[in-house]
Structure 1
Amino acid sequence: MARAPGMSARLKLTFSYAGIVMLAGSLLIAVAWIFALRWLPDHDPPKPSPGQMTAMPAPGSGANPAILILGPSRSDLMRGFAPAAAVALAFLLLLGLVGGWFLAGRMLAPLTRITDATRLAATGSLAHRIELEGRTDEFRELADTFDTMLARLEAHVAEQQRFASNASHELRTPLAITQSLLDAARNDAERDTDRLIDRLHVVNTRAIDLTEALLLLSRANQRSFAREEADLSLMAEEATETLLPLAERHDLLIETSCAVAPAIGSLALLLQLATNLVHNAIVHNLPGKGSEGTTSGQGMIWVSTGIRGDDVELSVENTGDKLAPELVATLTEPFQRGTERVHTDHAGVGLGLAIVDSITRAHDGALTLTPRPGGGLRVTVRLPLPAPYRTPTADASETRYVPTALRLARIGPSHPSSPT
């Protein structure tokens, strides 16, 4: 918005300093003036006659001398004090202006550095930091806050650029495959049409799943959803029931221990969160039955919910390959897949845990990924417990159960979107 040019902050502070100095000097001079007037007569003393000025008693005559004491009057004070006061005020004005200019410049120097950093950030340079020296004060707090904002903004921009690049690559893959299949069908008139349609259907389904996952991730990041009363135990049970056939095909056992876990949030997003966690635990588990009917071990999945302290907790733990902590730390990034964890079937599009992380943060919660010593992964989601269910005397180290039943409409025969 265009604005008319105004006085600079340094000039305003200079005039303010000079005004304060002038005011203090004027008050001091006024006090001195009033104090002096109190001891002076309000009229000029009578002038002595020539005889009074010269007549003095002879020494030793015993006569009392007539002593006439003459002092300054108010008119004398006006003639002597007023010019000196004017000179003093002029000096104070000059001192206030000059000293105020330098003091204002010194005080506003940190603000100048912050303004320069802001201009650099406005041009797209987010790597610059103010790094203001000195002890903590208002300017130091402002500079540190601005540095923190720049760091977070730089990380966010880098993440968005990386996400856009990865999303473009992932979306280009099914389109390129589709184009290749169509070109091959055009050049080969005798090609099996049914087989071509089946392959195009698979590729198109993967593209649809990826697009829906991207839309869901965007929705979670924007927090554009209505919040209502929910129960994570119902979400976990429904996700387990929905994915039970997939677990049976992988020859996996699922154990559930779901206590009441009230929360506030989006029913659809929380169900998607639970579905993604159970789905990942299934497809990234121990290998199921092979082509010869042999197994390398019975895979297990443990799903539990409950209240711990002032949080509700959803935990999904599974057996599987041993995971390095460095790999686990990257699993919540979009399109990041551990090469040793991706199987040929139901490998997803690399957004499963990224969506879980976004949904968790959108509900002001925390996501924790911990590799199991024997192999596999433990994923824990903790969301804030609604205020009506909090007890001040609860021990945060123990799991509490809320006896009060929640009025929650069961999500009726739902078909959550394909886990990603």
Structure 2
Amino acid sequence: MNRSPRTPGASVRVKLTIVMSLLVICTGVLILALVYLFLLRYIPEGNLNTVRGDFAPSRRDLAQAFVPRALWALSALVLVSAVGAWLLSGRLLRPLNQLQSTSLKVAAGQLSSRVELSGPRNEFSDVADAMDKMLDEIQAQVDQQRRFAANASHELRTPLAALRATLDVGIQGAGGEEEFMRRLGSISAKAERTVQALLTLSRAESAALHPRSTDVVLLVEDVVEQLLPAAIAAGFEIDVQLPEDLRVEADADLLEHALSNLVRNAIAYGRGAIRIAGGASGSMVLLSVENEGGMLGEAQLSQMVEPFQRLDRLGSVETAGVGLGLSIVDAVARAHHGELVLLARSAGGLSATLRLPAAG
């Protein structure tokens, strides 16, 4: 949006200096007026002599002696006050200069710039802190959009390349029609899963939530019911141990995605049995999904929440996602002011625990 340039005007610093100088002049004039009203006016005019014949100054004598010196003193006081007001206003307005400098840098594209105003809390520091917080949110949103675009272009490149190769094979007539259609279906399904996972991750990272009191037990039952056929086909048993009344303040759709991803991850990368447990801990609700499997190191645990990072699969390839499962879970947890804790089990396998705020 183009704005017309403003006409130049006096700076706030100049205005404050002028106001301070005028205030000193008015104060000085008021003092002179009070001196005249309550002192000089009671002294008679003309030459005065005391009883002993000594000279006594008249009103004119006192005025001639007092007024010029008072005006010189007032002029000096105005000059000193003007200089002091100029220096003081410059110091007081320095935070505005920092705000302006930061705003110009941000307008030029430097989103990492911050005011970072030092000193005790006051009106300027409140504005600066609010601006820094706003810039943090803006940068987070911009970074999220950039990550989404980069992740989408990176992950969709593979299925699109595979689709093009399959179409080339189909055009050349190599392979049967049934095999050709099966491969097309598989590639399109993977692309659809990738897009859906990216959209879910983007929504979780943007904290576009619709929180409400959610029954964790019912949510877990729905997830287990959906994934039980795949778990049985892969040779897994799912053991659920949850108290009857366990509720969290959360976006039910995103939480269901997160729980589903945890179970899918256990099926894809684990073996044996999957255990789902939960309970309340103060103002938080803990919900854990554990699976048996190989030994995991700290480097692997930190790698798991990174987008598009996949470990060697031990379980079902069909239930595996596109490398965004635990990234989505971590984003959902942070969006709800909670956290995802990953621990390597001593006997092998993974324990993934969601910590979420309990429903009030």
TM-score in same-fold range (> 0.5): yes
8 Å CA contact retained: 1:321, 1:340: no
Tell me the TM-score normalised to structure 1 length: 0.72
Residue 17 (structure 1) shift: 3.8
The match for 1:417 is none
Match among 282, 288, 309 for residue 315 of structure 1: 288
- CA separation of 1:356 and 1:156: change in aligned 2, threshold 3 A: same
Mark the structure with the bigger radius of gyration: 1
Q: How does 1:30-109 map to 2 (within 5 A)?
A: 36-37=39-40, 41-44=42-45, 47=48, 67-109=52-94
**Runs of 5+ in structure 1 lacking a partner?**
54-65, 287-298, 388-420
8 Å CA contact retained: 2:211, 2:250: yes
Q: Aligned equivalents of 2:297 and 2:252: distance in 1?
A: 33
Q: Which amino acid aligns with 1:164?
A: A
The match for 1:328 is 301
Residue 152 (structure 1) shift: 6.9
Percent of aligned positions that are identical: 38
The match for 1:305 is 278
8 Å CA contact retained: 2:342, 2:351: yes
Q: How does 1:242-257 map to 2 (within 5 A)?
A: 242-257=226-241
**Runs of 5+ in structure 2 lacking a partner?**
none
- CA separation of 1:270 and 1:127: change in aligned 2, threshold 3 A: closer
The match for 2:17 is 14
Residue 352 (structure 1) shift: 1.5
Q: Which amino acid aligns with 1:360?
A: A
Match among 84, 94, 108 for residue 123 of structure 1: 108
In terms of fraction of residues, the more helix-rich structure is: 2
8 Å CA contact retained: 1:311, 1:385: yes
1:318 counterpart SS class = strand
Q: Aligned equivalents of 2:119 and 2:86: distance in 1?
A: 23
The match for 2:191 is 207
2:242 matches 1:269: no
Residue 86 (structure 1) shift: 2.4
Residue 264 (structure 1) shift: 2.9
Q: Aligned equivalents of 1:156 and 1:342: distance in 2?
A: 36
Superposition RMSD on alpha carbons, in Å?
A: 3.3
8 Å CA contact retained: 1:236, 1:258: no
- CA separation of 1:279 and 1:269: change in aligned 2, threshold 3 A: same
The match for 1:361 is 334
Q: Which amino acid aligns with 1:249?
A: A
Residue 256 (structure 1) shift: 1.3
Q: Which amino acid aligns with 2:199?
A: L
2:167 matches 1:182: yes
Q: Which amino acid aligns with 1:361?
A: R
Q: Which amino acid aligns with 2:223?
A: A
Q: Aligned equivalents of 1:231 and 1:74: distance in 2?
A: 94
Q: Aligned equivalents of 2:294 and 2:12: distance in 1?
A: 64
8 Å CA contact retained: 2:269, 2:312: no
2:175 matches 1:191: yes
Q: Which moved more, 1:301-310 or 1:87-96?
A: 87-96
Note the alpha carbon deviations across 1:289-312, whole angstroms, 9 max, x for none. xxxxxxxxxx22221122210122
Residue 348 (structure 1) shift: 0.5
Note the alpha carbon deviations across 1:149-184, whole angstroms, 9 max, x for none. 667765664554344222112112111111111111
Q: Which amino acid aligns with 1:381?
A: L
8 Å CA contact retained: 1:237, 1:258: no
Residue 222 (structure 1) shift: 4.1
